[in-house]
A and B are shown apart, each in its own frame.
Chain A
Amino acid sequence: MTDDELIDKCLQGDPRAQKALFEKFSGKMMSVCMRYAPDREQAEDVLQDAFVKVFSHLDSFKREGSFEGWIRRTMVNTSLDQLRKKRGLTIDADISEAEYLAGSDEKSIGKLRVDELMQLIQEMPTGYRTVFNMYAIEGFSHREIADELGVTESTSKTQFRKARTYLMNIIGERENI
């Protein structure tokens, strides 16, 4: 079944199609929600809220772009809503920047397994994590991030730079153990 057929059947209210759609995307989308949420439980909450939105707003999907992209965007938006609601999205600019540790380079990060990377991202401070996810993985521009989070563009850039430094430091530390 193609995505289009799946969408058609879901719009007709076919429960099997709905379940098939959920099963098709839930694993990938859980990965998205996990990156934005501080823990698994909150990620699951977001995932289920977002899927309810996906199903109830399915008719508004224009079928021009990628369906997966549309679902993913719903996940990210719901994740951001959740962070705002929990007031977890206060970005404090004053975590001092550390230098890169010797020996931590891109090769180190390449050696990490995805689940290890996921853990590192989840452990980042919320501001870092959010901006890092949006910029590095989802591909938002700093302008878009600024609009979305209600901060300035330069804050977004700073946050991203710090997040990157933070991540490299952590990886460097792990390496040097």
Chain B
Amino acid sequence: MENNQKHIEEIVKEAFASHEVEVGAHVWANVQAGMAANTAGVAATGATSLMKAASIVGLSTVTLLGGINEVVLHSDQNVVAHNEVMEESHPTAPQTENVVVVSEDAWAAEEETQNIERKNSNEAEEASAESNSANTATSEVVNEEVAHVGNHMQDEASEHVPRPGASGADNHQEDVAEDTKQDPKPEKEEENALVKKEDKDTQDHSGSDIQDEEAPKQCAIRFTHDAKTFISPNGDGAQDCFSVQGVENVESFHIRIWTQAGELLAESSDVNFSWCGTNRFGKVLENRSSCYYQVDAFDADGLQYKAPNAKGHIMVFR
């Protein structure tokens, strides 16, 4: 039994060693607000609890514009049954305290109010600036939505730390890049379809729809591999392994590969990293395993590479 028990600790420790959980977009906004409160001489925890308290009364929205933080408190009357509207057009403020904002809604809100160049690494600042205008009109999120999202913690979407595998998006190969970006919840398939479509539109126009407030700086990185690909690791020299292609101007690089279920298979900070269809322990994956990768790459200016092939799908054939 002793041996058995030791195993449990090891297995659990190993399982969590590189485990990641998606984080809602609002968390970063709250952290920013907390930092701003800090510099303003207010204790961070105090600010957070203040916002918490406010959210009980009604709905508080944190906005950030040009480095100036303000906490906007909305009264109860703003919290209206908003579900139908959301179903149709997803008007949701990107940063809303105490409300789990699903990123697809946040994206949609951004796209609706104004087209944003989403490949720009400054999307948070943009989104915040954006939300300032969005706030006045539509910043309500129904509590029901919170409960709904809460029930699907593993499925929840996040634009920043997607665990594509957990979303069950296995059959959406045709637009995997969009899928992983959106990390759709299976419960909202129709909505997703709509959002994905909008996504595509935005991407098609990439380069032209740059937000006014931000300097139009493009990430200098260009990868040339396909977002959707396959490998057949049988040693015949053809498509045996996957690696990121066309690496130029990369200052910081990190690639992660997951199974469909969200198990981390491999990660590396080496731009020449090549993955040949095994898990972390060298075990060979089964035929037709569906895997996802994400590359976090930054150029010398700290701009993140966000083109469609920064994330994608790898099918393993044996």
A20 contacts B by Cβ under 8 Å: yes
Q: List the one stretch of A59-67, A87-95, A109-117, A143-151 in contact with chain B.
A: A109-117
A52 contacts B by Cβ under 8 Å: yes
**Can you list 15 contacts pairing A with B, beta carbon distance less than 8 Å?**
A18-B35, A19-B28, A24-B296, A27-B23, A27-B160, A34-B21, A41-B150, A47-B23, A47-B27, A49-B48, A51-B27, A56-B38, A117-B12, A137-B13, A167-B8
Whether the pair B8, A164 counts as a contact (CB closer than 8 A) is yes
> Which 8 residue pairs are nearest across A and B when measured between Cβ atoms?
A27-B20, A106-B7, A27-B161, A52-B34, A30-B21, A52-B44, A1-B252, A136-B9
B121 contacts A by Cβ under 8 Å: yes
Whether the pair B15, A117 counts as a contact (CB closer than 8 A) is yes
B234 contacts A by Cβ under 8 Å: no
Interface of A with B (CB < 8 Å)? 1-2, 9, 14-20, 22-24, 26-28, 30-31, 34-35, 39-41, 44-45, 47-49, 51-53, 55-56, 100, 105-106, 109-110, 112-115, 117-118, 135-137, 139, 164, 167-168
CA–CA, A137 and B38, complex, Å:
32
Q: Of the candidates B24, B161, B302, which one forms a contact with A9 in the assembled complex, judged by CB atoms under 8 Å apart?
A: B302
CA–CA, A39 and B149, complex, Å:
12
Chain A residues within an 8 Å CB radius of B8:
106, 109, 136, 164, 167-168
Chain A residues within an 8 Å CB radius of B31:
22, 48, 51-52, 55
Interface of B with A (CB < 8 Å)? 1, 4-5, 7-9, 11-13, 15-16, 18-24, 27-28, 30-32, 34-35, 38, 44-45, 48, 52, 67, 100, 121-122, 124-125, 150, 153-154, 160-161, 163, 166, 251-252, 254, 261-263, 296, 298, 302-304
CA–CA, A51 and B125, complex, Å:
18
Nearest chain B CB to A147 CB, angstrom units: 21
Chain A residues within an 8 Å CB radius of B27:
26, 44, 47-48, 51
Q: Of the candidates A18, A31, A39, A113, which one forms a contact with B261 in the assembled complex, judged by CB atoms under 8 Å apart?
A: A113
Chain A residues within an 8 Å CB radius of B153:
34, 40
Chain A residues within an 8 Å CB radius of B38:
52, 55-56
Chain B residues within an 8 Å CB radius of A20:
298, 302, 304
Chain B residues within an 8 Å CB radius of A1:
251-252, 298, 302
Known: A18-B32, A27-B23, A118-B19. 8 other contacts (CB 8 A): A16-B121, A20-B298, A22-B28, A27-B22, A31-B16, A35-B16, A44-B27, A45-B52
CA–CA, A48 and B52, complex, Å:
12
Chain B residues within an 8 Å CB radius of A44:
23-24, 27, 100
Nearest chain B CB to A108 CB, angstrom units: 10
CA–CA, A137 and B18, complex, Å:
12
Chain B residues within an 8 Å CB radius of A34:
21, 153
Nearest chain A CB to B48 CB, angstrom units: 6
Nearest chain B CB to A11 CB, angstrom units: 13
Whether the pair B21, A31 counts as a contact (CB closer than 8 A) is yes
